[in-house]
A and B are shown apart, each in its own frame.
Chain A
C-alpha cells in the first residue's frame, strides 16, 4: 500500500547511509537480558572488526549488568534478520556483511540474567 495523496508523494529516506559520514548504523541487542532497557544503535565504520565494535562500544555499555563480565565472546551465538548468523569477530563489519541499520542479537545461553530469570 502507499500513502493516499492528492499529488506526487515521494521523499528520500532520511536515514540513508550517505548521511552518516562514512559510518553505518548498527543495532545490538543482548538476548534475554532486559536489565539493559533497550538495544543500542551505534554508528560504526564498516572497516572496524566486529570484535572492535564489541570491545569499544558494547562491553562498556552493558558493564553494569552482573552477567557482562562473564561473557565469553568466542562462544556467543548471533542472530541477524531473525535467523542464526555466524560472524567472524576478527573480520570487518563489511566482510561480515553487516549492513546499514542491521539488527544484531547476541545470545549467551549459559548466562541467564538477573535472578536467572532472563532479566
Chain B
C-alpha cells in the first residue's frame, strides 16, 4: 500500500521525540541490573527517564550538520593562520606562556571529559540522556583535536609545547587539573555529570572560555580565539544540559537533593581552585587584557551563578559551601598564583617575568583594595632583584594540598598575609590542606584522597627520576634530574622570559616580517 508522505516537515519537538525516544530495549538474556550496574549505587533515584529533555532538542542529524559547519570554519582559519605566519601577529611573545599553560593543563582535561561522557552515556538507562552524553563525548574529542591542530602550529616555532602527554602525568603543577579530572572520572556517573556538566561547565567554564578567548582575540591570536569560541559554542550546549541535568535529578526524587547539594559543594570548590590558573593567565599572561580576573568572576560567577542559585532555591538547593570564600578570594588568587609560579619559575615549562609599570598600574586600578598593599611591593621587590642580576628562583619544594594539589600559596579569608593551612589525621596518618573546604572534601572521602599522587612527595620518595639516574652519585642534582624526568629542555622551556629563546626568536622573526 502506498504511504502518503506528509507535506509538513516535522516540528522541532516531534523530531526530537522521534530521535531520542523508544530507541532502547528490554534485555532478554541478562537482567537489566547487570546491563546497567552503575546508576543506582550513588543513591540517586530516577523514576522516569523520559522526563530528561534537551532544551535545544538537538538531534543527531542536526548535530552532525552544525558541527561539520563549525569545523569547516575553524579549519579554514587554522590553515590561513599557518600559511600566513599568524603566530607573528600576536602582541608579544610573553603571550605564548598563556597558550603553553592552556595546552599543557587544559587540553588534556578535554580528553578526560571524553572518557567520562562516553562512560556516562553507556551507563545511564534513559535514551535521551545517553544521546546527550554521546554528543558531549564527541564534542570534547573535537575540542582536544582542534586544540591539538591549532596549537601544533606554535610547536613548530616555540618551546614548551613538545611533550604534553608526557608532562601531564608527571609535572607538579599539571597534577592540579589532572587530579581534578581523575577525581571526576572515578566518581559514579551521576556525580560525574554534576561535577562536569553542572559545576564546571555551567558555573565556571564561562570564566575560562569567554573572557580568556576574547583576550586571545585582543592579543592577535586568531587561531586560539577561533578554536576557543568554536569549543565554547559546544560548551553553551553543555551548560544547557548541565542545568537540565540538575533540574532532572532534583525533580525526580526529594532524596536526590542532599546528595546533589554535596556534589555541588565539592565540585564548585574544586573547580574554583583549578581556575586559579586561569586567573593568573588573565591578569598576568595576556599582554593586552580585556578584563581582570576579578571582573570576570563578578560577571560570570557572582552575577550569573547567583541568578542560577536563586533559581534552584525552589528545590531546596543553596549556593555551594565555599561560595563566600571563593568570592573573597577573587581579590587575591591570581596574584598569589602568579607569584608562586614566578618564584618557582625554574621548574615551570613556560616563562615568567616581571610586569611592566603600565601593567602594575593596570592591576592597581583593577584591584584597588589589595594590589598596592599586598602584591605590588612583592612584584617590585622581585623585579629589582632581577635587575641587579639576582633573579629569584626558589629551589626548595613547596607544601601541597592533599585535595587540590596546589602549593599552599593561598591566605586565610580576610587575612591576606597569613598562609592558610589545615591538617587532618586519618588512621594515624597526617594530611595537609589549603583550606576548610579542601579539608572537608578529604573528610568526606578519605579512602579516595589517601591515594593522592602529590608530585612533591613523589619526588622525595624517589619516583621522579629517569630510570638510569644514580641518586647516590657525588654530582647528583635532584632538581635537575626531576626536570629531565619531566622532559624539559632546560634553559629553553623554563625560567625567566627576558633573554629567553622564545623572546629572541619572536623579535627576530617579527623583524623579518616588517623589514627586508
Contact = CB atoms under 8 A, between A and B. Distances in A.
A–B direct contact (CB < 8 Å): yes
Interface of A: 1-6, 9-16, 19-21, 23, 25, 27, 29, 31-32, 34-43, 57, 60-61, 64, 66, 81-82, 99-103, 113-115, 117-119
Interface stretch (B38-46, B126-134, B220-228, B267-275): B38-46
Contacts of A117: 373-374, 377, 417
Top-6 shortest CB links A-B: A118-B417, A38-B398, A61-B396, A38-B407, A43-B460, A101-B430
Contacts, number: 142
A117 B380 CA distance: 14
A92 B343 CA distance: 30
B278 interface: no
Interface string B393-429: 0111111100000011101000011110101000101
B431 interface: yes
Contacts of A4: 41-43, 188
Interface string B21-52: 00000000000000001100111000000000
A39 B411 CA distance: 12
B355 interface: no
Contacts of A12: 450
A29 B409 CA distance: 11
B448 A61 contact: no
20 contacts: A9-B447, A9-B448, A12-B450, A13-B450, A14-B454, A15-B454, A27-B421, A34-B419, A36-B343, A37-B340, A37-B343, A39-B408, A39-B421, A57-B396, A64-B385, A64-B390, A103-B421, A103-B423, A113-B417, A118-B417
Please report whether the interface of chain A is mostly helix, strand, loop or mixed according to DSSP: loop
A11 B454 CA distance: 16
Interface of B: 37-38, 41-43, 188, 336, 339-340, 342-344, 373-374, 377-378, 381, 385, 390, 392, 394-400, 407-409, 411, 416-419, 421, 423, 427, 429-432, 443-448, 450-454, 456-457, 460-462
A118 B462 CA distance: 36
Contact of A29 (B416, B419, B452): B419
A64 B391 CA distance: 10
B421 A29 contact: yes
Contact of A41 (B423, B445, B457, B462): B457
Contacts of B343: 36-37
Contact of A2 (B340, B381, B400, B446): B446
Contact of B456 (A6, A10, A41, A66): A41
A31 B411 CA distance: 11
Contacts of B397: 40-42
Contacts of B427: 13
A71 B394 CA distance: 19
Contact of A40 (B37, B336, B378, B398): B398
Nearest to A41: B399
A10 B38 CA distance: 19
Nearest to A26: B399
A1 B429 CA distance: 17
A23 B478 CA distance: 16
Contacts of A23: 460
Given A1-B443, A64-B392, A119 B374 contact: yes
Nearest to B445: A3
A6 B40 CA distance: 10
B430 A100 contact: yes
Contacts of A37: 336, 339-340, 342-344, 394, 398, 407, 409
Contacts of B421: 27, 29, 39, 103
Given A29-B419, A43-B460, 18 more contacts: A1-B445, A4-B43, A6-B37, A14-B451, A29-B421, A39-B398, A39-B399, A41-B457, A41-B460, A66-B381, A101-B429, A101-B431, A101-B432, A103-B432, A113-B417, A117-B374, A118-B418, A119-B377
B398 A21 contact: no
Contacts of A3: 445-448
Contact of B451 (A11, A38, A43): A11
B377 A115 contact: yes
B399 A103 contact: yes
A20 B397 CA distance: 15
A27 B456 CA distance: 12
A14 B446 CA distance: 12
Given A11-B450, A14-B452, A42-B396, A35 B378 contact: yes
B188 A119 contact: no
Contacts of A31: 418
A43 B457 CA distance: 9
B399 A81 contact: no
The residue in A13, A21, A23, A117 that gathers the most chain B C-beta atoms within 10 A of its C-beta is A13
A40 B417 contact: no
Given A37-B336, A103-B423, A32 B418 contact: yes
A17 to B, nearest CB: 9
A11 B453 CA distance: 13
Contacts of A100: 429-430
Nearest to A34: B417
Nearest to A28: B399
A52 B43 CA distance: 53
The residue in B399, B429, B462 that gathers the most chain A C-beta atoms within 10 A of its C-beta is B399
The residue in B395, B430, B444 that gathers the most chain A C-beta atoms within 10 A of its C-beta is B430
Given A3-B445, A64-B390, A103-B432, A41 B400 contact: yes
A65 B462 CA distance: 30
A78 to B, nearest CB: 14
B280 to A, nearest CB: 12
